[in-house]
A and B are shown apart, each in its own frame.
Chain A
Amino acid sequence: MRAAGITSRAHPLWLAYILHRLSGLGLALFLPFHFWILSLALTNPARLNGFLAFTDIGAVKLAEFGLVFLLAVHMFGGLRLMAMEWLPWTPPQKTLAAGATALSFLIATLFLMQAV
């Protein structure tokens, strides 16, 4: 479909799918680098300290937040998939579960906002 684009992708399950794939790819790209940095603790502690000093910079902090966020998104996405595929939910049950999850996220976010 060239002309109108593939607008049939604009629905929540597809968005959940693409979020999961992009977060998975992001993790796959980042983790080798992450483990390499950790390995410096054994092979080259001075250099590791150099990197750790880096983490005080605001932008780097933001990037770290992004990575933790990626992992969280991917983990919840993966758990969501496994629950959806391995448990024989009926459609109304799926809707209820999605609603309950959304509500608990909303409440959790409210508490978080109050904490910071």
Chain B
Amino acid sequence: MKAHMLKVTIERGPDSRDVFDVPAHESQTVLDVVSWVQQNADPTLSYRFACRVGMCGSCAMMVNGVPRWTCRTHMSKVLKDNAVTIGPLRNLPVVKDLVVDMDPFFDKWVGAEGVHHGSLTRDDPIAAIDETSETRVEANAGIECINCSVCYAACDTVAGNADYLGPAALQRAWTLLNDAKDEGRVAILDAVSGSGGCHNCHSMGSCTTYCPNDLDPMTAIAGLKRETAKSFFRRGR
């Protein structure tokens, strides 16, 4: 049987794109295809991955114009006329080929106060958490984020406003706001109500549509909009 070939276009710069013929396999992922190109056709191709099982969040790329985790996206899902176009993630500076600089994404994570605000020390007893409480359920809904930046790449508001904190960072702020062990309420509300904050979001929902972990940043951000507004009317409480 003759090997079935795929036509793979890889964007390597603003005006440069290379086309490769890649042998098709069963259960082949987009990351498999990129790896095949790097190992067999062009060793200078740069790309990033680590876990290959959807845990680390390092392999996201634009696939036919849609941001996806490439290690868990099957070619069968994205092939159009036996061809596919792969490019670097949108909304982040390109370092080389398919590698983007994730610094702005993580800086905004911190900018949204997406850090632990503890008040206890190791000598204090561990506080019990009620897994069924409303706030814990709300926090749990968003904690499985793998920092892949797919939502950040999907968001047009990020594209239009370099200061916008973006869906992932704001969602983390929302989980912390609902976390009984986090004492950062005032700092978080302050961080997410600024000029780059949650009120920039137009609820266009691309974040929620494309999050590979089925998280819902859009709804988390709506929660922040309500909390910041309530706190405004209560004068900061």
- Give chain A's interface residues, CB within 8 Å of chain B: 1-9, 11, 13-14, 16-18, 21, 81, 84-86, 88-89, 91
Are A85 and B87 in contact, with the CB atoms below 8 A?
A: no
- Give chain B's interface residues, CB within 8 Å of chain A: 9, 11, 14, 17, 62, 64-67, 85, 87, 90, 153-154, 156, 202-206, 208-210, 216, 218-219, 222-223, 225-226
Are A3 and B203 in contact, with the CB atoms below 8 A?
A: no
Interface-centre pick from A3, A9, A81, A89 (highest chain B CB count, 10 A)? A3
Show 16 residue pairs from A and B whose CB-CB distance is below 8 angstroms, ordered by the A residue.
A4-B64, A5-B65, A7-B64, A8-B153, A8-B209, A8-B210, A9-B156, A13-B203, A14-B204, A14-B209, A18-B204, A81-B203, A85-B203, A88-B222, A88-B226, A91-B216
Give bound CA distance, A104 to B175, whole Å: 36
Are A9 and B206 in contact, with the CB atoms below 8 A?
A: yes
Residues of A within 8 A of B64 (CB): 4, 7
CB distance from A99 to the nearest CB of B (A): 17
Residues of B within 8 A of A7 (CB): 64-66
Q: Which residue of B lies closest to A15 (CB)?
A: B204
Q: Which residue of B lies closest to A84 (CB)?
A: B203
Residues of A within 8 A of B65 (CB): 1, 3-8
- Among B85, B90, B222, contact of A6 (Cβ-Cβ < 8 Å): B90
Residues of A within 8 A of B223 (CB): 88
Residues of B within 8 A of A1 (CB): 62, 65, 87, 90
